[in-house]
Amino acid sequence: MKIAASYLAITDNLEENINLLDNTTIDYIHVDVMDGIFVQNKTYDYEYIESILKNTKKKKDVHLMVKDVYNYIDLYSKLNPEYITVHIELEQNLLDVIKYIKQKKIKAGISINPGTYIGKLDPYLSCIDLVLIMSVEPGYGGQKFLDSSIEKIYYLINKRKENNYNYVIEVDGGINDETINIIDKADIAVVGSFITNSDDYQKQVDKLKNNQ
Ligand code: DX5
Ligand code: ZN
């Protein structure tokens, strides 16, 4: 399983710590973007995020927890991310949003909150590159893993097999060296505080990778 590291829980020396993160064996840097409307919390402005990521080499995985999704897609596509993921709870014409992301030659993902019925994804599964299953309520790092996300992994594995879809399955929130075993059938795990709350990032990444 691949590891996408979220820096959301880093509170000081953000640029220095992101560069440390970039020099570990993680597979992606997970860029959490919050507007204070779609979720209560608000992350830094794009210009600041672009400046602190400028020296990083790792592929980017952008997670938009925002309402004004087209504007944020325009901004964050400038990072040349591998994925841009939006939320199904947006209640917007998601097929247009997915097309808009793909027109920028970026892979499109849909994220689903813990309380949202997994079947709502069905109309989009044939045309997306990634599903991001939230195993915490979006908005903050450091929360506890919600077991209700597990059945969603199996639902998506079965749908992918039955229909020959090719989206990757990513799980996000409360993942550590124990819960990573529970989600071992997923393709990518997003891990924030378990890595960044420690003083040796690589040691934590090794624990995650060795536990698979
Ligand atoms: C929460 C974010 C997650 C979070 C993960 O809204 O989408 O990516 O930063 O952090 P941990 O691993 O600490 O739950
Ligand atoms: Zn996230």
Q: What is the pLDDT of residues 139-172, one digit of tens each?
A: 999 999 999 999 999 999 999 999 999 999 999 9
Q: Give the residue among 29, 21, 43 at the shortest CA–CA distance from 140.
A: 43
H/E stretch holding 107 reads strand 107-112
pTM above 0.75, yes or no: yes
- Our answer to whether residue 32 is catalytic in this structure is yes
> What average pLDDT is seen over the chain?
97
The pLDDT value given to residue 165: 98
The pLDDT value given to residue 142: 93
172 and 193 Cβ atoms separated by less than 8 Å: no
Quote the number of domains for the chain: 1
**Does ligand 1 lie within 6 Å of residue 132's CB atom?**
no
The residue ranges of the chain whose pLDDT is under 70 are 212
The CATH number of the domain holding residue 202 is 3.20.20.70
31: CA distance to ligand 2 center in Å?
7
131 and 110 Cβ atoms separated by less than 8 Å: yes
Q: Residue whose CA is closest, atom 12 of ligand 1?
A: 192
The pLDDT value given to residue 18: 98
Segments forming the whole domain that contains residue 185:
2-210
The pLDDT value given to residue 92: 84
132: CA distance to ligand 1 center in Å?
12
For residue range 83-102, list pLDDT tens digits in order: 999 999 998 899 999 999 99
The pLDDT value given to residue 103: 98
